[in-house]
Amino acid sequence: MSRALFACLFVGCTGEARAPLERVQAVETQQAASLGVAASAPASQAASARVETHQEATNRKLCDREYTAKDAPKLALPNPKWRAGPGPLWVNLWAAWCKPCVAEIPELAEWSREGGFALLFVSLDDDEREWKQGTLKLGIDDPGKRPPLATSVWLEPGKGRSTFLRPLGFLDTPNLPGQALIDKDGRVRCFRSGAIESSERAAFLALMKTL
């Protein structure tokens, strides 16, 4: 058998097997172009890929760990007075020696004012005096200088500290600062290890409104 004949037979066989799908895709592409829109993905691809919503994509970028209302761990505050108001609660874990923590606190206070949500600054300083000095410098020890729904507390080292931090997920990634978003029913819905960015303000405020 000549090489030319063999090549023709080979092309004909493989081409025949793929032709129907290729013709369908070509028609869809041509129709889409005539309408000024992008061609849709083949049905096989559409069936295997779940479309992620905008909110899901945003939350995934904001949170290192995100929980649904069904599987979210419950957070028990050591003192009920720590919760300054109803609705969702933003818990900020910080320490006076942590420069990124100190840098973001004034901005978080502004977000709390704008969003109207309760904000809890929880100090993980080893010594209560360090916490007091840090809050004095930042002005968050003065109710007149911080949002009305913001509270500053010191979490004493010991078993009580571990019990509080475990549901937040902080013990898995013990990096300061830490952000935990608690819904109105007291469940941990989002944990972020690390500082927030100014560019994330709108996304975080939108997320707090859903809690």
Whether residues 83 and 144 share a domain: the answer is yes
Whether residues 17 and 100 share a domain: the answer is no
**Domain that residue 193 falls in:** 54-209
Beta bridge partners of 91: 120, 180
Q: Tell me: the pLDDT tens digits for 20-33?
A: 434 434 434 443 44
Distance separating alpha carbons of residues 188 and 75, to the nearest angstrom: 6
Total number of domains constituting the chain: 2
Whether residues 59 and 31 share a domain: the answer is no
> Residue 143, preceding bond cis, omega within 30 degrees?
no
Output b/e per residue, 69-85; b: 16+ Cβ within 10 A: eeebeebebeeeebbbe
Q: Tell me: the pLDDT tens digits for 144-200?
A: 667 778 888 999 998 789 889 988 888 877 889 999 999 999 999 999 999 999 999
Q: Where does the chain have alpha helices with state H?
A: 3-35, 43-48, 54-62, 99-115, 128-138, 159-165, 201-209
What is the pTM (predicted TM-score) of this model? 0.69
Q: Which two tokens stand for residue 58?
A: 């945003």
Among residues 208, 170, 178, the alpha carbon closest in space to that of 55 is found at 208
